[in-house]
Chain A
Amino acid sequence: MLGFQLGLSVTTPPPLIEMRGISKSFGPVKANEAVDLAVAPGEILGLLGENGAGKTTLMNILFGVYQPDAGDILANGTRVSIRNSADALAAGIGMVHQHFHLASRLTVLENLLIGIPGKSGRLDRAGALVRLDEIAANYGLRLDPDQPVSALSIGEQQRLEIIKALFRRARLLILDEPTAVLAPSEVDGLFAALRAMTTQGLGIIFISHKLNEVRALTHRCVVLRHGRVAGRVDVPAETTALEMAQLMCGHEIVPPERGPSVPGATVLSLDAVSTAGHGGMPLREVTLSVREGEIVGIAGVSGNGQRALADVVSGMLKPQSGMMEIAGKRVAAFTPREVQALGLGRIPEDRMTTGLVTNLPLADSMVLPRIGTEAFSAKGLLKPGAIVAFAEAQIEAYDIRCPGPMVRAGALSGGNLQKALLARELAFDPKVLIAAQPTRGLDIGAARFVHEKFLALRAKRCGIVVVSEDLEELLVLSDRIVVMYEGRIVGVLDAADASVSRLGLLMSGAGGNA
């Protein structure tokens, strides 16, 4: 059918951008292999793939960060060579990175003018304001030009990044996980702006793990796996998220089975715990208990005390008042070593900064919390053999994709890093596990892996606390869901009674004390 349609439209303009047979290797790793991809004017192309599938490398090639080993890039039908971001901009390509590249002390307008040659040595502010008005009128992207970037919300900063690309007359916009940082209402605004751009003939490459968003927004999808094109989706709206996920990971996906579990003795309890004197929302008289063989989900809008809760339990924050017990023993010092010695496993919210040491070998990060224990040292001397053997065993057991235990931890993809963090905790059979945002930024396959591990741990009678902003995740995993609002627990729901709407109501603070 599709071929027939294409056959008819002989006057189709050439694609804005076409990548032909792109290959790129880093040493023995083939990051991209013979990838073909094209974006037509007015088209939104979804680029899907698990972490490490080669999406980022491909887009970096398009933006001139890397040179391809083989293959051609065509802009409007003519071959171009993109050696740096200036070449990319000249070819009409604009990129909105996941992490913004903005000068926070400058204003919106000044950020737009960075790198733009002025008129006889002076910045063309008036001309820029006219362009800014045009962009606002055409796409509904509005910002106060005199606001400093530091005063903008994350969503507004992203809008500025998009405006920046349009300001430089990009015809093709690459958005890398643009919705990861946005609230649901902001996502709607972003999508409206993107659709407005396509009506003006712009093309968009949309990279996302959120398949429902991909289905709602894109016209076509390219799925990468192990650096190659694993499949193409011609009508995303009529393809299920499950089908897409299966294309991404290359095998069938069955939702995880949460078998029955009879909770046993209490393994973690907090009694009227309050905190003070740290950044963020403090805890106010939080009382909570977790039993063995039970998964307790902590729900709440970001910034309602979840971080303080995770920090207290992890031994990173000493409460001002209240009591905490792990496996029946009272926690006194609230240090990482103490809670760990009592049998607590910890998965930190921020893998790259809190969990791992990116510049050191992976093995070092994997033994870091227990380096002083008999397993990895004796009398102050390391046991290098034991450290490497431990790391190798976990790499094998958790299928952590990496060249070996001595590779720089920062070279691993997010999913593999999370596997490494899980491995380092679960290897020591924790009685309780606290995991903060355990699947944030992970692709479906990796997230599934994490969920399966949690459920297997539950079957092994571990008590698990999952702090997450992803309600779907909490509903799939939890036996009970605790809702936090302004540092307090405002509701506890059994899995059977919980739904997104009930949770949403409690999370907004409208539920009263349930």
Chain B
Amino acid sequence: MLRLEARQKTPAWLNLTLPLVAIAVTLILCSGLILMAGAGVLDAYGVMFKASLGDSYAITETLVRAAPMIFTGLAVTLAFRAKFWNIGAEGQLLAGAMASCFVGAIPMPGPLAMLLMAVAGAAAGAAVALIPALLRVRLKVDDVVSSLLLNSVVFYILMALIEGPWKDPFSGYPISPPIEDSANLPVLIEGTRLHLGVLVAVLAAPLVWLLMARTVLGFRIRVTGENPEAARYGGIDVQRVIVVAALLSGALAGLAGVGEVGGVHFQVMSDISPGYGYSGIVIAMLARLNPLGVVPVAIFLAAVMTGAEAMSRATGVPAFLSDVIQGTALLAMLVALLFTAYRVRRSA
């Protein structure tokens, strides 16, 4: 008979292998769906792999898709470390996209435009995150609910903009005017869409890690998240730390929107984010709230999303499989987390 026994200590190797095991379990579980859709499991996964990581162009496409997910993953990681339950990365991303699009449409020298787009996008994301943070520290409003519901509010503001003042006067399509060409983020490799924002996203991960592990602010965020009472007794202004963490989290999510506007779409439309903000939650959990883990996990999920389209075309399995894989991966990881606190023992 197998039973669970509480662990005294979690071995280090387990922390590294658990996400991999969770992913493996996910792929095995989802292969059942592929079979039901009438395709071969290896065929489907093979096409998926080839289309997302099979050649250098595919890899750049996957990285382009991973960039916003790295930012939202980092945003959620930082907030969750402070136990500020920011489910609003999606709305913060949209706010960042709108603000950077507004700034990017103003004629000015390119580098200045890119910088100001980033600043405006981060500020807009932070502003949206500030609302649930203040509601929580001032009025004790549940941050899960308020940050989640704000996503809809921001989305409808976006819709109002592109259906109203931003609407394309010639075509009548609900899309914003494009940003200036000079404000487009430079492409890193000729002939691909790999833009500067991808590099910034990848570099942001070690920066967030440094912030959490090596700065006084990061220390205060960690302590506040783990035990607010001990934090207060230790002289930490807990409410301030939560607000600061929320602002940083919102800014990171806002930068995800900046990258999409500046490097991929060059304008704002209603489907600018296929749920990157929500993917950020999955990514943060799979990465076990470790900023450095966010990058590989985001690339994995981006590969799944990129590959799912090709798989759908080649094998007829609906592309929704990528959403199922995301959801299953989150559940598998939550179950896997159990094994960091417990171990399985065989008993007579």
Q: A358-B227, A359-B226, A369-B234 are in contact. Are A384 and B214 (CB under 8 A)?
A: yes
Residues of B within 8 A of A67 (CB): 5, 345, 347
A66 and B216 CA atoms in complex are apart in Å by: 39
Give the segment of A178-186, A196-204, A253-261, A348-356 that binds chain B: A348-356
- The chain B residue with its CB closest to the CB of A346 is B233
A454-484 vs B, Cβ < 8 Å mask (1 yes, 0 no): 0000000000000000000000000000000
Q: A84-B3, A377-B216, A382-B219 are in contact. Are A356 and B232 (CB under 8 A)?
A: no
Answer yes or no: B171 CB below 8 A from chain A CBs.
no
A504 and B197 CA atoms in complex are apart in Å by: 72
- The chain B residue with its CB closest to the CB of A350 is B229
Q: A83-B347, A316-B233, A348-B233 are in contact. Are A353 and B227 (CB under 8 A)?
A: yes
Answer yes or no: B8 CB below 8 A from chain A CBs.
yes
Contacting pair B5 A66 (CB below 8 A):
yes
B3, B213, B230: the one within 8 Å of A355 (CB) = B230
Give the segment of A41-49, A118-126, A168-176, A360-368 that binds chain B: A360-368
A322-358 vs B, Cβ < 8 Å mask (1 yes, 0 no): 0000000000000111001000001010000111111
Q: A364-B222, A364-B223, A381-B215 are in contact. Are A27 and B8 (CB under 8 A)?
A: yes
Contacting pair B8 A26 (CB below 8 A):
yes
How big is the A interface, by class?
35 or more
A355 and B1 CA atoms in complex are apart in Å by: 41
Contacting pair A336 B9 (CB below 8 A):
no
Contacting pair B9 A27 (CB below 8 A):
yes
B8, B219, B234: the one within 8 Å of A336 (CB) = B234
Answer yes or no: A448 CB below 8 A from chain B CBs.
no
Residues of A within 8 A of B231 (CB): 357, 368
A384-413 vs B, Cβ < 8 Å mask (1 yes, 0 no): 100000000000000000000001100100
Answer yes or no: B217 CB below 8 A from chain A CBs.
yes
A residues 53-80 near B (Cβ < 8 Å) are 65-67
Contacting pair B233 A354 (CB below 8 A):
yes
Q: A380-B216, A384-B214 are in contact. Are A357 and B226 (CB under 8 A)?
A: yes
Residues of B within 8 A of A407 (CB): 9
Contacting pair A364 B233 (CB below 8 A):
no
Contacting pair B229 A354 (CB below 8 A):
yes
Residues of A within 8 A of B195 (CB): none
Q: B48: shortest Cβ distance to chain A, in Å? A: 38
Residues of B within 8 A of A364 (CB): 219, 222-223
Q: A354-B230, A356-B230, A359-B227 are in contact. Are A335 and B222 (CB under 8 A)?
A: no
Q: A364-B222, A381-B214 are in contact. Are A408 and B9 (CB under 8 A)?
A: yes
Answer yes or no: A102 CB below 8 A from chain B CBs.
no
Answer yes or no: A439 CB below 8 A from chain B CBs.
no
Answer yes or no: A372 CB below 8 A from chain B CBs.
yes
- The chain A residue with its CB closest to the CB of B8 is A26
Contacting pair A83 B3 (CB below 8 A):
yes
B residues 334-348 near A (Cβ < 8 Å) are 345, 347-348
Contacting pair A411 B9 (CB below 8 A):
yes
Answer yes or no: A81 CB below 8 A from chain B CBs.
yes
A314 and B215 CA atoms in complex are apart in Å by: 26
A26 and B215 CA atoms in complex are apart in Å by: 34
- The chain A residue with its CB closest to the CB of B7 is A26
Answer yes or no: A371 CB below 8 A from chain B CBs.
yes
Residues of A within 8 A of B6 (CB): 65
Residues of A within 8 A of B234 (CB): 336, 368-369, 371
Q: B98: shortest Cβ distance to chain A, in Å? A: 32
Residues of A within 8 A of B223 (CB): 357, 360, 364, 368
Residues of A within 8 A of B9 (CB): 26-27, 407-408, 411
B98-135 vs A, Cβ < 8 Å mask (1 yes, 0 no): 00000000000000000000000000000000000000
Q: A57: shortest Cβ distance to chain B, in Å? A: 10
B residues 250-283 near A (Cβ < 8 Å) are none
Residues of B within 8 A of A411 (CB): 8-9
Contacting pair B347 A81 (CB below 8 A):
yes
B317-348 vs A, Cβ < 8 Å mask (1 yes, 0 no): 00000000000000000000000000001011
Answer yes or no: B220 CB below 8 A from chain A CBs.
yes
A336 and B226 CA atoms in complex are apart in Å by: 19
Q: A83-B1, A83-B3, A359-B227 are in contact. Are A336 and B214 (CB under 8 A)?
A: no
Contacting pair B219 A357 (CB below 8 A):
no
A66 and B347 CA atoms in complex are apart in Å by: 11
Contacting pair B233 A371 (CB below 8 A):
no
A380 and B8 CA atoms in complex are apart in Å by: 33
Q: A381-B216, A382-B214, A382-B216 are in contact. Are A369 and B235 (CB under 8 A)?
A: yes
Residues of A within 8 A of B229 (CB): 353-354
Q: A483: shortest Cβ distance to chain B, in Å? A: 26
Residues of B within 8 A of A384 (CB): 214
Residues of B within 8 A of A83 (CB): 1, 3, 347-348
Residues of B within 8 A of A65 (CB): 5-6
Residues of B within 8 A of A66 (CB): 5
Contacting pair A360 B222 (CB below 8 A):
yes
A494 and B226 CA atoms in complex are apart in Å by: 43
Residues of B within 8 A of A348 (CB): 233
B230, B347, B348: the one within 8 Å of A357 (CB) = B230
Contacting pair B214 A371 (CB below 8 A):
no
Q: A445: shortest Cβ distance to chain B, in Å? A: 23
Residues of A within 8 A of B216 (CB): 371-372, 377, 380-382
Residues of A within 8 A of B213 (CB): 382
Contacting pair A371 B215 (CB below 8 A):
no
B8, B219, B348: the one within 8 Å of A371 (CB) = B219
A81 and B3 CA atoms in complex are apart in Å by: 14
B residues 1-39 near A (Cβ < 8 Å) are 1, 3, 5-6, 8-9
Q: A17: shortest Cβ distance to chain B, in Å? A: 19
Residues of B within 8 A of A371 (CB): 216, 219-220, 234
Residues of B within 8 A of A382 (CB): 213-216, 218-219
Residues of A within 8 A of B3 (CB): 83-84
Q: B82: shortest Cβ distance to chain A, in Å? A: 13
Between-chain CB contacts (< 8 Å), 27 pairs: A29-B8, A65-B5, A67-B345, A83-B3, A83-B347, A316-B232, A337-B235, A340-B235, A348-B233, A353-B229, A354-B233, A355-B230, A355-B233, A357-B227, A357-B230, A358-B227, A365-B230, A368-B230, A368-B231, A369-B235, A371-B234, A372-B235, A380-B215, A381-B215, A381-B216, A411-B8, A411-B9
A-B CB proximity, top 9 nearest = A368-B234, A336-B235, A337-B235, A26-B8, A369-B234, A357-B227, A357-B226, A359-B226, A354-B233
Residues of A in contact with B (beta carbons under 8 Å apart): 26-27, 29, 65-67, 81, 83-84, 314-316, 335-337, 340, 346, 348, 353-360, 364-365, 368-369, 371-372, 377, 380-382, 384, 407-408, 411
Given A353-B229, A354-B229, A355-B230, 7 more pairs with CB closer than 8 A: A315-B235, A340-B235, A354-B233, A359-B227, A380-B216, A381-B214, A381-B215
